[in-house]
């Protein structure tokens, strides 16, 4: 670097740009396939008719959590939707374990960890609000 040249700023790249929309969609699609294949998890999704539109909603959800922009408003009702499901602690643990396995299938460990940390944090908040913290 020449004297007098501006110091390059460290660029903060949002996670959505590091992971990319294609990977988000791949992870989400495969994850819901794996949930469906799991005996404990399948019943929770039994009343959810249209998986494709659910997956697109969830992909947009993660995209915004990672700092990305989506077309139009996407109203999320996390607590309301999950409250109706009678979730329990073991289901949460299984959800997160399958999510971690899926992330590691598609992403290098460092990016998988960063996405997983978000899911763990959101999962903890959900559990607390659903009264499941100590299960």
User: Please, are residues 42 and 35 in contact by the beta-carbon 8 Å criterion?
Assistant: yes
Q: Which is nearer to ligand HEM, 2 or 86 (CB)?
A: 86
User: Please, are residues 86 and 131 in contact by the beta-carbon 8 Å criterion?
Assistant: no
Which x/- pattern, by CB under 6 A, does the window 61-100 give for ligand HEM? x--------------xxx--xx--x-x---xx--x-----
Number of residues that bind ligand HEM (CB under 6 A): 21
Shortest Cβ 15–ligand HEM spacing (Å): 14
Task: Please identify which residue in 26, 29, 30, 45 interacts with ligand HEM, judged by CB under 6 A.
Answer: 45
Residues at the contact surface with ligand HEM, assessed by CB under 6 A = 41, 44-45, 48, 57-58, 61, 76-78, 81-82, 85, 87, 91-92, 95, 119, 122-123, 126
């Amino acid at each position: 670097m020449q004297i007098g040249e501006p110091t390059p700023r460290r660029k903060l790249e949002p996670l959505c740009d590091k992971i990319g929309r294609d990977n988000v969609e791949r992870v989400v699609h495969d994850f819901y396939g794996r949930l469906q294949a799991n005996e404990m998890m399948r019943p929770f999704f039994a009343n959810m008719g249209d998986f494709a539109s659910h997956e697109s909603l969830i992909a947009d959800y993660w995209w915004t959590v990672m700092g990305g922009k989506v077309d139009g408003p996407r109203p999320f009702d996390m607590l309301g939707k999950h409250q109706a499901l009678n979730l329990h602690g073991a289901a949460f643990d299984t959800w997160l374990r399958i999510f971690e396995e899926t992330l590691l299938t598609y992403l290098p460990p460092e990016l998988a960890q960063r996405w997983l940390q978000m899911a763990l944090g959101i999962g903890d908040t959900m559990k607390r609000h659903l009264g499941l913290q100590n299960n």
